[in-house]
Structure 1
Amino acid sequence: MTDQELAHLIQMINQISDNNIYHGDEARAAEAVATHLRKFWARSMKQRITEYARADGAQLSDVSKLAISRLSELQPS
């Protein structure tokens, strides 16, 4: 995956997070984002954003980071 593709994933997850903040708090929003990623993102997309979050994650919003953390908890090793 190219840097441009990664940048697009970062932009998408941050937008999804922004759109789910209406759930009232970051924890509930993050769960909604993680559910969205599980349902709609390809395995390769989830793996790439998870790798980025573990390596740096500087461009991810707090809700995005929390969602990736929750997603990672449920992914097989």
Structure 2
Amino acid sequence: MSDQLHHLIKMINQISTNLDHGDKHKAAEAVAAHIKKFWARSMKQQIIEYEDIDGSELNQVSRLAVAQLKELRQAS
């Protein structure tokens, strides 16, 4: 795993932890919105590819957020 991917995993998990106040689905929506707004396209692509291939280091909210990102991408 590249250092950049490791850093992205750490960042998305930190964002998820900070936004999770009990409702995992609502937190995942907020995380996905944050990533959509602030992350570069290449960063989003890397985290989506990681979740598709493995995803084992993503927490539950992060996994839900990445799934929402994939849905948004497919809808575009």
Per the shorter chain, which TM-score range?
over 0.9
**1:12 Cα offset (Å):** 0.1
d(CA) in 2 for partners of 1:43, 1:13: 15
**Structure 1 unaligned blocks of 5 or more:** none
Q: Say which SS state the counterpart of residue 20 (structure 2) adopts.
A: helix
Q: Say which SS state the counterpart of residue 60 (structure 1) adopts.
A: coil
**1:28 Cα offset (Å):** 0.2
Which of 44, 57, 60 aligns to 1:59? It is 57
Query: Partner residue of 1:11?
Result: 10
**1:27 Cα offset (Å):** 0.2
RMSD: 1.3
Query: Partner residue of 1:49?
Result: 47
**Structure 2 unaligned blocks of 5 or more:** none
Matched pairs, number = 75
Which consecutive aligned stretches of 4+ in structure 1 deviate over 6 angstroms post-superposition?
none
Q: TM-score, normalised by structure 1?
A: 0.92
Percent of residue pairs identical: 57
1:10-39, CA deviations, whole angstroms, 9 ceiling, x for partnerless residues?
Answer: 0000000000002x3100000000000010
Query: Partner residue of 1:30?
Result: 28
Q: TM-score, normalised by structure 2?
A: 0.94
